[in-house]
Amino acid sequence: MKAILFVIAVFAVAIGIAVTAASNRNLGEHAVALPAAQVAASESAGATHARVVFAGGCFWGVQAVFQHTDGVLAAVSGYAGGKAGDAHYGMVSTGRTGHAEAVEVTYDPRRITFGKLLQIYFSVAHDPTQLNRQGPDAGTQYRSAIFHVTPTQRQVAQQYIAQLEEARVFGDDRIVTQLVPLTEFFIAEAQHQDYATRHPGDAYIATFDRPKLEALQRLLPEVWRDKPVLVMTGN
């Protein structure tokens, strides 16, 4: 499905169809430099692990961004937000199960705050003004959503969205990111894990995801890590 959509997107450019600034923002070179969150989540005292699930288009790029983020212990591609009792790519890609392609981020709150993760998510991981579309991918399975694990995460996310809206960092476009309690997270198939690292020459990765990594390194160098934390090797 992604390959077909990518071919369509390339063809559209070739015949001169205009691409709006809003849809371009999720290509890393158009990433937005955002202010840090004014309020950071206070994790449990002494906590060494916390997790949250981010959805924002194809999980390949979102996973890669957080795998290159210092303080992140694991970033796993999967599916969240659906009604079905199970999920796999063939089901989710139809858009009928209610799931979104998502990434479970486990992080060390002593090294990186939830507020900093939000800054990364909203600035370079995806375009939060696009609800059910990111780049060439369209459908509810590509929606912008934060599946929060704790009430504090929801509160901080709400406050940060309000902060960004007040600052009009996206101009006239509104942030449409959904805030939803995490119920279940289904880990995606092995072929989708570490995809950007394993297939750097893939046309989709080179066009839509590599620029996100370049933007992360350029805009937030303090959190950039050269060696990604991978799923398949346990690094």
CA 215/CA 76 separation, integer angstroms: 21
- Give the max Cα distance, the chain: 56
Q: Which amino acid is at 72?
A: V
Q: Which residues pair with 100 in a beta bridge?
A: 80
Residue 64 annotated to the active site: no
Give Cα 37 distance to the centre of its chain: 17
CA 153/CA 185 separation, integer angstroms: 17
Q: Choose the catalytic residue: 58, 125, 161, 231.
A: 58
Torsion, Cα 204 207 213 218, to 10 degrees, reads 180
Angle at 125 between CA 120 and CA 130, to 5 degrees: 115
Q: Which residues are catalytic?
A: 58
